[in-house]
Structure 1
Amino acid sequence: MTSEKDTYKTIEIAKGDVLFKEKGSKFFSFVIPVFSEDEVKLRLEEIKKKHHSARHWCYAYQLGIDTIRYRVNDDGEPGNTAGQPIYGQILSKDITNVLVVVVRYFGGTKLGVGGLISAYKTSAKMVLDEAKIVEKTIDVHFELIFEYEHMNKVMRIVKENNLQISHQKMELNCEFVIPIRKKNSEKIKKLFTDLRCLKISEIN
């Protein structure tokens, strides 16, 4: 029986403006946690405003846990000399939900294809080496709806299994949202279902 992967690595907080110089050109690198393409666009615009006089804003990003989405962009540099080397560093760190941007100010001397690949790879590596990489669990979120009289039964399962309640609402009924680590989710779901006094559903 293979154990299903239920953790992933990402970065905790953004890092930026890490400087690398090569033959007069300056490369400023950034790494930012992102969760959607819209957020990628927003962060890119912020960096372009900050470094509005730069020549190139090259980047790569990776999103998702079960289904991975990624994109690389050379932004005017020769094909595969910028975005792909940046993305290679994301892969080497085995992280997701990240955007890495390398901003280039041209220094007057052409670096050639090999020089560009090396410069963008080095810049991406430098900022990723400075970022704090954290491991997170993949959680399934369950919504529980039950009447107040059954609170003790529900709370017994919560306490015995060291579960966290991320959201709760107490009105006519009680509503709990409980994140459960993916590998434990079926077992915990069965415990709650067996109570037969509540409605349980998985939510995104």
Structure 2
Amino acid sequence: MNDQYCEPARETVTETKVRKSLFIAHVCICRDETEARERIRGISSEHRQANHNCWAYRVGTLKREEYFSDDGEPAGTAGKPILGAILRQELTNVLVVVTRYFGGIKLGVRGLIEAYGKAASEGITASGKISLRARTGYEIWMPYDMVKLVERLLDTCDTGGDFRSSEYGEYVTVKCAVPLECSESVEKTFEEWKNSRRINGWKKAG
């Protein structure tokens, strides 16, 4: 299972002028449709005086959802080229809203497609991108003498640093986020340890 994906490294706002029209590209990091729709409403409200607020988003790490809108521009001239810019960079968890303030010169169908695609591409380039891994969360309870063994297991599957934390009480509780590629083997090991009473228990966590 390939658990790797890319999303924007940062949120940006960039401006592009095409034949006196101003195109403002807002690149936002959104990890679900609800968040994307809220950001669209916010940007559209902020730029309510603009002629158009066209957009496209792609969200999800395993199952991807894609939507776009021309917001009154001729069909296929705005939302689709914006989505095309997202797909060319193989991004997910991204929303791009391109706001247009009309400059008085009509661009035509081809001109609009090129202008919206260019604005979106420049915004995405300015945002950069980072490669991440989809993960499953776990919580494990264990006696103190099992801590190093559990940590060694997690270290072998890229689950250290920010992806792991420990709480110490009567028992040790480890919370971690394991790459999906490793989840099956990790769960099998946890279950074996539980059955042999080497750990107190484990569960998937949100």
Q: TM-score, normalised by structure 2?
A: 0.87
SS in 2 for 1:115: helix
Structure 2 residue identity aligned to 1:184 = C
Shift of 1:201: 2.0
Aligned with 1:118 (options 110, 114, 121): 114
Check if 1:60 corresponds to 2:56.
yes
Q: Is the 8 A contact 2:12 2:28 kept in 1?
A: yes
Q: How does 1:89-108 map to 2 (within 5 A)?
A: 89-108=85-104
Aligned with 2:148 (options 135, 138, 155): 155
1:5-55 Cα shifts (integer Å, max 9, x gaps): 111011121011x11112221101111100122211222233224323211
Check if 1:38 corresponds to 2:34.
yes
Q: Is the 8 A contact 1:157 1:191 kept in 2?
A: no
Match of 1:15 in 2: 12
Q: Is the 8 A contact 2:3 2:62 kept in 1?
A: no
SS in 2 for 1:122: helix
CA RMSD of aligned residues (A): 1.8
Check if 1:72 corresponds to 2:74.
no
1:143-192 Cα shifts (integer Å, max 9, x gaps): 2134xxx2221432213541436344445554322111221222222222
Aligned with 1:180 (options 178, 181, 184): 178
Q: Is the 8 A contact 1:154 1:192 kept in 2?
A: no
Moved more, 23-32 or 190-199: 190-199
Moved more, 162-171 or 75-84: 162-171
Identity score, percent: 29
Q: How does 1:24-35 map to 2 (within 5 A)?
A: 24-35=20-31
Check if 1:141 corresponds to 2:137.
yes
SS in 2 for 1:52: coil
1:61-109 Cα shifts (integer Å, max 9, x gaps): 0011211111100000011110000000100000100000100001112
SS in 2 for 1:195: helix
Equivalences, count? 197
In 2, the alpha carbon distance for the partners of 1:166 and 1:113 equals 51
In 1, the alpha carbon distance for the partners of 2:172 and 2:76 equals 55
In 1, the alpha carbon distance for the partners of 2:204 and 2:56 equals 32
SS in 1 for 2:26: strand
Structure 2 residue identity aligned to 1:155 = K
Compared with structure 1, are the counterparts of its residues 160 and 5 closer, same or farther at alpha carbon in structure 2 (3 Å cutoff)? closer
Match of 1:189 in 2: 187
